């Protein structure tokens, strides 16, 4: 029986020499791989009490939507700045080379709601740290953070200490 990592394409020396790029589009392009990835993520949420699923643009949408559908929960998009039409809250965070800003609608979360955050990959943890801050600013509680892939060598879990963080596939390197 195949595992999720069997569907992940590894591309050496991209985007620069010495880096191995872990490509999740190869999972999306294979019906069995996609179903397996979603099934493995679903298992991580079985028995967990939560009110909503929030996903970071854009691959968090891809993996978060089927989970929201399966568990009959609303889906909250976390977008890049300037992409949402209504009143938003935003958070700017540092990247390796510069900064980025993410937003969510101000009315997306109610006081006391329990939220699962999802993205395809955890590297340094900056995006999800900013997402946790947005959820909490709106009065929600992050009850789990899920990733399909984890690049453990970049220590992203350090930015998310105190949260329940899980990944399906873990690569020790960068």
Q: Which two tokens stand for residue 108?
A: 């997306």
Task: Please pick, among 22, 59, 103, 113, the residue that the annotation labels catalytic.
Answer: 59
Please tell me whether residue 127 adopts helix, strand or coil conformation: helix
Annotation says 96 is catalytic: yes
Neighbours of 150 (CB within 10 A): 22
* Alpha-carbon gap, residue 64 to 150, rounded angstroms: 16
Task: Please pick, among 16, 17, 96, 111, the residue that the annotation labels catalytic.
Answer: 96
Residue with tokens 């992050």, as numbered in its chain: 142
Buried b vs exposed e over 78-100: b needs ≥16 C-beta within 10 Å? bbeeeebeeebbbbebeeeeeee
Annotation says 59 is catalytic: yes
Residue with tokens 């101000």, as numbered in its chain: 106
User: What amino acid positions are annotated as catalytic residues?
Assistant: 59, 96
């Amino acid at each position: 029986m195949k595992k999720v990592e069997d569907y992940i394409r590894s591309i050496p020396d991209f985007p620069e020499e010495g880096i191995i790029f872990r490509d999740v589009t190869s999972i999306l392009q294979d019906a069995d791989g996609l179903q397996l990835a979603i099934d493995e993520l679903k298992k991580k949420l079985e028995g967990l009490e939560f009110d909503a699923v929030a996903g970071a643009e854009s691959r968090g949408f891809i993996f978060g939507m089927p989970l929201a559908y399966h568990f009959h929960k609303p889906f909250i998009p976390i977008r890049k700045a300037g992409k949402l039409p209504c009143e938003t809250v935003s958070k700017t965070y540092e990247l390796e080379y510069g900064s980025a800003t993410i937003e969510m609608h101000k009315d997306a979360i109610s006081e006391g709601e329990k939220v699962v955050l999802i993205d395809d990959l955890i590297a340094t943890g900056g995006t999800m740290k900013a997402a946790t801050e947005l959820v909490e600013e709106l009065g929600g509680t992050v009850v789990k953070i899920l990733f399909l892939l984890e690049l453990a060598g970049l220590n992203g879990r350090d930015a998310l200490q105190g949260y329940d963080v899980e990944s399906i596939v873990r690569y020790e390197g960068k």
